[in-house]
Amino acid sequence: MLPPAPDLVRHLAAWLPRQRWFGGKDGPIDDLAIAAATELHPGDPALHHLVVDVRQNSGTDHYQILLGVRRDLPDRLRYAEIGAPTGEDGAKVRLYDATHDPDLTRILLDGLAREASAGPLRFHRAGGAPIRTDLASLPITSEQSNTSLLFGDAYICKLFRRLSKGVNLDLEVNLALTRGGCPHAPAVLGWFDLDPGALAGGTGEPITLGLLSDYLHTGADGWSLAIASVRDWYAHTPAPGDGEWAELDASAAGGDFAAEAERLGAATAAVHRALADAFGVTTLPAAEVRSMAARMNAELTGTCRAVPRLAPHAKALTAAFLDLAAQAEPLPVQRVHGDYHLGQALRTETGWTLLDFEGEPARTPAERRAPAHPLRDVAGMLRSFEYAARFLIAGAGTAPTESGPWLETRAHAWAARNRAAFCRGYAAAGGPDPAAHAALIRAFEFEKAVYEVRYEARNRPAWLPVPLTSLAHLTA
């Protein structure tokens, strides 16, 4: 039932830029081609697995699409429609994103349970555990660079949309943590991948397409919990006579997050120890630390050109990178999370669990896999507290009913309290104390802020005021 290739390409090229997980929203698509197509289920509905090559800005990215095809699209799937071209038999067909169709996503569970193969696709189970195939799926609608499917209250399946060569870091790291018995990461149950030979010029390891893990159904993500705390703090009214100090005491609000932030810091240190055990620790020479600081500054220069609104902060950011270079000494480095923020942590009834070890979406695979000092993750979480504190007043979320200078005062107070609590928990649990590495943590945090500015400008322009507003405070 598939339409001729030119029609399919035309509809996909119009649909792709509207997807949250599409990484090229800053420019037009120069060319789109079907790199690999595999039929996973014939009939009506049919399921086709596609890898499409998208060429933009002199580079090519591979994207994974689960394409559903029906003669008639039910109302419940209309929102997922890609297009309605004419099929090869001359009749109209409806193309849609099959991740929204539980009738078709069960095929993924069945493939994992049977350790099946379909053309260049291979399905794998981890540890021999049985996998249920009778569960309906529901796509998670939160802000993500990939697509996650919930299967009942048992499993979560992460589909990697923008594909990288070889084994995906999220699978590699989570599988190592599962085998090491780390209690702060969800257990891996299975995965599926693509023979690299299916792509033109492809060689090396299989390309990871999806990862099935235990679903922690009692969990709440750290971002939602933090935003609830911030909202409660903004709504808090000091008692008459409390004075200006009341605007600085973020513990006074009912939804204080500091105790959870401290526990999250301890869980982060435990995961860093587990990663060191699984992948080892090496030493980065002082000369390489100076080179790292130079790369940070070069990235700042490039980002200022791409996003001129960052330029007013460039002098202070450069000073932090130069300070790191001036104090350079050998650093222990290891595998880290790589894209650590409140949305990557889940609070369950048994404690904090860390998610999504894929690394920063805008980094190259080599950059994501490179060992780093653990404080790079700490800096990412400190940035996330800044995000949460200012999210509601920067226009990205539902703003408070009042505004004024006191909002920035309260934002600073909330962020400072929770940053300190997180660092306290991290150091107490055996992680390197951020207070003893001031130049390093500051450089890492500013590097992350530069990355955020570039990422938001490219992927979520409406969020750009969030990192810029916090930078205005941090560089003051």
pLDDT digits (tens, 9 = 90+) for 119-158: 999 999 997 778 999 999 999 876 578 999 999 999 999 9
pLDDT tens figures, 12-38: 999 999 998 998 877 889 999 999 999
- 105-114, 394-403, 407-416, 424-433: the lowest-pLDDT one: 394-403
Burial of 82 (0-12, 13-18, 19+ CB in 10 A): buried
| Residue 398 binned pLDDT confidence (cut-offs 50, 70, 90) | very low
Amino acid 27: pLDDT: 82
pLDDT tens for 287-322 read 999 999 999 999 999 999 999 999 999 999 999 999
Which three-class secondary structure string do you get for the chain? CCCCHHHHHHHHHHHHHHCCCCCCCCCCCCEEEEEEEEEEECCCCEEEEEEEEEEECCEEEEEEEEEEEECCCCHHHHHHEEECCECCCCCECEEEEHHHCHHHHHHHHHHHHHCCEECCEEEEECCCCCCCCCCCEEECCCCCCCEEEEECCCEEEEECCEECCCCCHHHHHHHHHHHCCCCCCCCEEEEEEECHHHCCCCCCCCEEEEEEEECCCCCEEHHHHHHHHHHHHHHCCCCCCCCHHHHHCHHHCCCCCHHHHHHHHHHHHHHHHHHHHHHCEEEECHHHHHHHHHHHHHHHHHHHHHCHHHHHHHHHHHHHHHHHHHCCCCEEEECCCCCCCHHHEEEECCEEEECCCCCCCCCCHHHHHCCECCHHHHHHHHHHHHHHHHHCCCCCCCCCCCCCHHHHHHHHHHHHHHHHHHHHHHHHCCCCCHHHCHHHHHHHHHHHHHHHHHHHHHHCHHHCHHHHHHHHHHCC
Q: Is the pLDDT of residue 400 over 50?
A: no
Q: If you average pLDDT over residues 256-280, what whole number do you get?
A: 98
Residue 398: CB atoms within 10 A of its CB come to 9
Token pair of 442 as six digits = 């500051």
Write out 393-435 in H/E/C secondary structure: CCCCCCCCCCCCHHHHHHHHHHHHHHHHHHHHHHHHCCCCCHH
Mean residue pLDDT across the chain: 91
Percent residues over pLDDT 90 in the chain: 73
Packing angle of the helix pair 169-179, 258-279 (nearest 10 deg): 90
Q: Is the peptide bond before 6 cis (omega within 30 degrees of 0)?
A: no
Q: What is the pLDDT of residue 242?
A: 56
Q: Rounded CA gap, 179 and 171, in Å? A: 12
How many CA within 13 A on the CB side of residue 260?
Answer: 24
- Own/partner contacts of 41-50, CB < 8 Å, gap of 24 or more, are 41/104, 41/107, 44/1, 44/69, 44/70, 44/71, 45/69, 45/70, 45/98, 45/101, 45/103, 45/104, 46/1, 46/2, 46/70, 47/98, 47/104, 47/107, 48/2, 49/118, 49/121, 50/12
What pTM did the predictor assign? 0.82
- What percentage of the chain reaches a pLDDT higher than 70? 95
Name the more confident of 323 and 6: 323
Q: Cα separation of 94 and 92, whole Å?
A: 7
Give the N- to C-terminal CA distance of the chain in Å, as an integer: 60
Is residue 11 within 8 A of residue 85, CB to CB? The reply is yes
